[in-house]
Amino acid sequence: MKKIEEITYLYEIAKSLSGTIDLKKSLYSVLEIISKSLGMRRGTITILNPLRDEIQIQVAHGLSRSAMQRGKYKPGEGITGRVIQQGKAFVVPKISEEPLFLNRTASRRQTQEEVSFICVPIKKGQQVVGALSVDLPFDPSFDLNKGRRRLTVIATMLAQWVINLETLQLEREALHEENLRLQQQLASKHRITNIVGNSNKMREVFQMISQVCRSNATVLIRGESGTGKELVANAIHFNSPRAKHAFVKVNCAALPATLIESELFGHEKGAFTGAIKQKRGKFELANKGTIFLDEIGSIGLDVQVNLLRVLQEKEFERVGGIQTIKADVRIIAATSKNLEQAVEDETFRGDLYYRLNVFPIYLPPLRERKTDILLLADHFLENYARENSKDIRRFSTPAIDMLMQYHWPGNVRELENCIERAVLLCEGGVIRSYHLPPTLQTGEQSDTVPARSLEEAVAGLEREMIIDTLKNTRGNMATAAELLQTTVRKFTYKAKKYRVDFRQYR
């Protein structure tokens, strides 16, 4: 090659490197240029993945994708591995005579033609980041050392690009791993076993969840506020074959009627004032996954028509759009409203109601499953104690009585808030009645228990503490007195006063 040709050729390479921000694309075009000027058969750029200590072909010319995937080496292995390990170029005049040749990509098996091979390291300072190699048809008149020098120059020019590619690749791998970890975390957070309950009514619910989760059936979850509808929706999605895809929640009540349509189905640019660009709706985002339509009872009649169409035909259009979009989406809806009444009042379409009501799951209010109260209370106590790094183990008997007697209009959510608050207030190892909110003391109890005087309240507390300590000490008065930092005489006196019989606790 003449000087002028050589310069033009280096200029071409420099130009293609700066021409595009797509790293792989620029490296491909560099190989293309080398191929044209050297008449090479194959060319590859490999990089070293320092985390896995593995060398992999990143960009290749004249190799199939599967051959590229086979091209993996350990540092020191084969010629490429050796070049990367030692940081020195390697020239093979005839590969048929070179024992180090691994031919891992199996690309040279078919050709009988004799081939020369040049491999040069790609370095950043002293650190080797990869290698550039070419196969040339064997030509006794070609000066291989000259070829090697030329490739070395190119490898220097490529170095920064290869480093960037490597950084990108590492970042991508890290993101991928993070993504997997988050997915697993989500799945374990939403296991059915995380829904607490042992009452017959809740067992029926569990049964229904496991029946329906594997299918694509539309599910309608019903129940008062705070009964765990969203929890059940999560459990269904994360235990379905769609678990790896999106779970998209839409709170229909929180959106103004004018927005909900575009929120669900998206809109085209200019569909209405303020639609400055095209927007994909929740149905599109939930493709292959599940959409959770919370508070479905609040959507307006005009949106109901479009929703019905999605349910029936599995297709929709963006607001202001003409293109019909297919929806591969499973629908889970929830409501605390009386939909039957709404149908009767003509605020909810009957046909939509029937389409949604394919598989209803009814979550009973907490007051109808009293046996779950303590189970849930313990569950929340454990969670919030851990979260707040407090060593609180249990509830005092009067506290339990209060939890059991209350009618829980806010259901599990109210119970959860109540326990969280108690954990924050509690300084000892036991949640006591006075850690619970006043509403619990005035609720249903208010008919039976008048507002207490100070004396009564103190008496109640004293009695509670005495009983607790006796339980802890298995009825041992001396130890109990010591724990409460009082004398046995005073302790016995109070126990008697409150009609607490220590023998009961032995």
The residues of the shown chain that bind ligand ATP, judged by CB under 6 A, are: 195-197, 223, 225-231, 336, 376, 412-413, 416
- When asked if residue 413 is in the footprint of Mg ion (CB under 5 A), the reply is no
By rule CB under 5 A, what count of residues binds Mg ion? 1
Structure tokens at 494: 């109070």
DSSP state, residue 252: G
Nearer to Mg ion, 130 or 223 (CB): 223
Closest CA relative to residue 339, chosen from 324, 327, 351: 351
Structure tokens at 367: 């007051």
Measured distance CA(263)–CA(261) in Å, rounded: 5
Q: Compute the least distance from the CB of residue 216 to ligand ATP, in Å.
A: 22
- Residue of closest CB approach to Mg ion: 230
Q: Which does 223 bind (CB under 5 to 8 A by kind): Mg ion, ligand ATP, none?
A: ligand ATP
Measured distance CA(56)–CA(2) in Å, rounded: 34
Measured distance CA(484)–CA(430) in Å, rounded: 14
Nearer to Mg ion, 221 or 303 (CB): 221
- The helix/strand/coil state of 488 is helix
Q: Compute the least distance from the CB of residue 434 to ligand ATP, in Å.
A: 24
Residues 158-177 that bind Mg ion (CB under 5 A): none
Closest CA relative to residue 408, chosen from 419, 398, 395, 397: 419
- When asked if residue 410 is in the footprint of Mg ion (CB under 5 A), the reply is no
Confirm if 367 and 408 have CB atoms less than 8 A apart: yes
Nearer to ligand ATP, 384 or 491 (CB): 384
Q: Compute the least distance from the CB of residue 408 to ligand ATP, in Å.
A: 11
Q: Which does 42 bind (CB under 5 to 8 A by kind): ligand ATP, Mg ion, none?
A: none
Q: Compute the least distance from the CB of residue 305 to ligand ATP, in Å.
A: 25
Residues 206-245 as x/- pattern, contact with Mg ion by CB under 5 A = ------------------------x---------------
Strand order through the sheet with 72-73: 72-73, 54-61, 42-49, 127-137, 115-124, 90-92
Q: Which does 289 bind (CB under 5 to 8 A by kind): ligand ATP, Mg ion, none?
A: none
- The helix/strand/coil state of 203 is helix
Residues sharing a CB contact under 8 Å with residue 159, sequence separation 6 or more, in sequence order = 122, 123, 124, 129
Q: Which does 467 bind (CB under 5 to 8 A by kind): Mg ion, ligand ATP, none?
A: none
Measured distance CA(14)–CA(1) in Å, rounded: 18
Nearer to Mg ion, 253 or 374 (CB): 253
Residues that bind Mg ion (CB under 5 A): 230
